[in-house]
A and B are shown apart, each in its own frame.
Chain A
Amino acid sequence: MTVIKNPIAKLIFYAILFVWGISVLYPLLWTLLDALKDNQQFFRNAPWSLPEFPLLWSNFSYVWSKYNFSTYFVNSLVVTAGSTGLGLLLSATTAYVLARYKFRGSSSLYLLYVSSMMIPFVLALIPLFFLMNSMNLINTKLGLIVVYASSVLAFGIFVLVGFFRSLPKELEEAAIVDGASYYGTFFRVMLPLSQPGLITIAIVNVLNIWNEYIVGTILINDPSQYTLPVEIGVMQAEMQYRTEWGPLFAALFITIVPVLLMYIFFQRQIASGITAGAVK
């Protein structure tokens, strides 16, 4: 580790880091503070001013009680967990085979998955609706789960193929010599070994799915099945007709908090996950 010795350079670097640090932390604080204001305060005072007393905590209860957030939270949880799990299973199996076994068409299959990441998904929305409609999966969490799971396959396969390839072949060979079946090798040896890679995918997918908005809006129009982002979209649209900036910020804050908590909680796994996934 070479330490920067020039004090001026050091000062400048520190300053840059601090400025950026403020730029990422301040919006969170700002969101919280503005969630405690009423409309008048937005006009009277500077954007960074503190909310006036009494603090309008009612903005939170207002958005909380007026919109049934506990249901949406559970919906989001179920959909995110289900689709992440399903997506992982489907991508890990295929990625392993693509990484380790040569068979006719294996490289074009890999290419198919990887190139599909470039497909603009908006294009699929209306056909997707028809498809789900005909399968009676509209307005169901299962419908969202299968679509989300399918949408994360390409990325999962892309990363995991790289990951499996990076694992030493000797381990498998040893397992085979020990008499393990193909399946046993995969589930008992390779899968545990690839945990860091799986975690990478899981984290990225959880974040994406938790925050997904457009597919949810198209496939769900029953309020009892809304996920959080869909509800936020609906709320935001309502705010266009009733200016309620305070509650809007409260809603944004409520949306940020779960992912933020998840990030704080799983921070190490996220960092090591990305590390494991990216470094071959």
Chain B
Amino acid sequence: MNSGTAKWQRNVFIASFIIPTLLFFGVFTIYPVLQGLYYSFFDWSGMSDNKTFVGLDNFKELFHDPIVWRAIGNDYFLVAGKVVGIMAIATFFAVALTRFGFRMAGFFRSIFFIPNVISVVVIGVLWNFIYNPQIGFLNAFLSLFTQEQVTITWLGFTNHTIWMLLPPAIWAGIGFYMILLIAAIQSIPASYYEAASLEGAGQWRQFRDITIPLVWEQIKVSVLNIMMTTLNGSFVIVWIMTEGGPDNSTQVMGSYLYQMAFRQYHFGYGASIGFIILVLSLITTIILQRLMRHETVEMS
């Protein structure tokens, strides 16, 4: 076999494994997305035959749109809240269910994942019933402890209503990251912990000095994943629960994009919001990766 044909064979193999996927991906993902980005330079209602090229006007307008800023604020609030909430609780459960020798650990592990298999649409509807001021679960529960009927409008505060979207988001997100971390912790050789125990390290020190450094890679992946799914996907639950209201107080970028493109007939403007989401995701990813980089410990 001469090296020429070998090389050729190798190239054919690579091409046959790369090109179909790339073509498919190009046609059904890249092309529509680029097309969508292209529209961000137009004033277009999305229904009309007329598109007017407006250059960067949409972006200029975005900059002066107070709702955009609120939406960005809400997005990052959700990212921060979910990262802290999910990672804290998921890590706690992961450690508790692996390191503490609890009975029924397997049972808890399996049921804690359940919210992850349920459609976001269903979760949104369920939580709407929890928050419902009159027939909702939460107020009825609180009323057990008070003289008067509690009638808090959980989704209707003057400000900060976005806080109320955090519990369903965290509740629905825990399971996946918990399983991820459990797997990581279980792959840490038991000898590490035994050695630490012999040196007199307690649970807390073991957690800090062994668990955290050795699962740091998974934590990093989880944080990045939470950030991306929140910026790109949090609008589904927002849309189902509040439609961004009241008075845009729960608007996130995705829901505002949807509102503008499909409800208020500014498809070009909506596309430019999408552009901004993309840019923000990229910047945030880079920043987060920088922040979390040097603490990785290789296990071998």
Contact = CB atoms under 8 A, between A and B. Distances in A.
A185 to B, nearest CB: 9
A79 B30 CA distance: 22
Interface stretch (B6-14, B66-74, B76-84, B154-162): B6-14
Contacts of B114: 24-25, 28, 260, 263
B53 interface: no
Contact of B257 (A123, A255, A270, A276): A123
Contact of B278 (A3, A93, A118): A118
Interface stretch (B18-26, B54-62, B243-251): B18-26
Interface in B157-188: 171, 174-176, 179-180, 182-184, 186-187
Contacts, number: 251
B140 A90 contact: no
B116 interface: yes
Contacts of A68: none
Interface string B18-49: 10111011011111110111010000001000
Interface string A31-69: 100100000001100111000000000000000000000
Contact of B184 (A31, A96, A279): A279
B129 interface: yes
B111 to A, nearest CB: 6
A126 B36 contact: yes
Interface in A119-151: 119-128, 130-131, 146-147, 149-151
B50 to A, nearest CB: 15
Given A2-B203, A252-B122, A97 B18 contact: yes
Interface of chain A, helix or strand or loop or mixed? helix
Given A122-B258, A263-B117, A2 B99 contact: yes
B135 A207 contact: no
A280 B184 CA distance: 9
A241 interface: no
Contacts of B277: 120
B106 to A, nearest CB: 9
A241 B10 CA distance: 62
Interface string A223-239: 00000010011001000
A237 to B, nearest CB: 11
Contacts of B9: 182
Nearest to A267: B110
Interface string B86-123: 00010011001101111010001111111111111110
B interface, size bucket: 35 or more
B269 interface: no
A97 B17 CA distance: 7
Given A122-B258, A146-B24, A279-B183, A117 B228 contact: yes
Given A147-B28, A153-B25, A118 B228 contact: yes
Interface string B242-266: 0000000000011001100100000
Residue of A97, A103, A120, A154 with most partner-chain B CB within 10 A:
A120
B297 interface: no
B137 A47 contact: yes
Contacts of A153: 21, 24-25, 29
30 contacts: A4-B203, A17-B102, A24-B112, A47-B140, A48-B137, A91-B21, A93-B21, A97-B14, A109-B22, A113-B25, A116-B30, A118-B228, A120-B253, A120-B254, A120-B281, A122-B270, A123-B36, A123-B37, A123-B270, A123-B271, A124-B33, A124-B35, A150-B25, A154-B25, A182-B13, A213-B120, A213-B236, A232-B121, A260-B117, A267-B110
Interface of A: 1-4, 10, 13-14, 16-17, 20-21, 23-25, 27-28, 30-31, 34, 42-43, 46-48, 90-91, 93-94, 96-98, 101, 103, 109, 113, 115-128, 130-131, 146-147, 149-151, 153-154, 157, 182-183, 186, 207, 210-211, 213-214, 229, 232-233, 236, 248, 252, 255-256, 259-260, 262-263, 267, 270-271, 274-276, 278-280
Given A23-B171, A124-B29, A154-B29, 12 more contacts: A4-B100, A24-B114, A43-B134, A90-B24, A97-B17, A122-B274, A130-B35, A150-B24, A207-B116, A271-B109, A271-B179, A275-B187
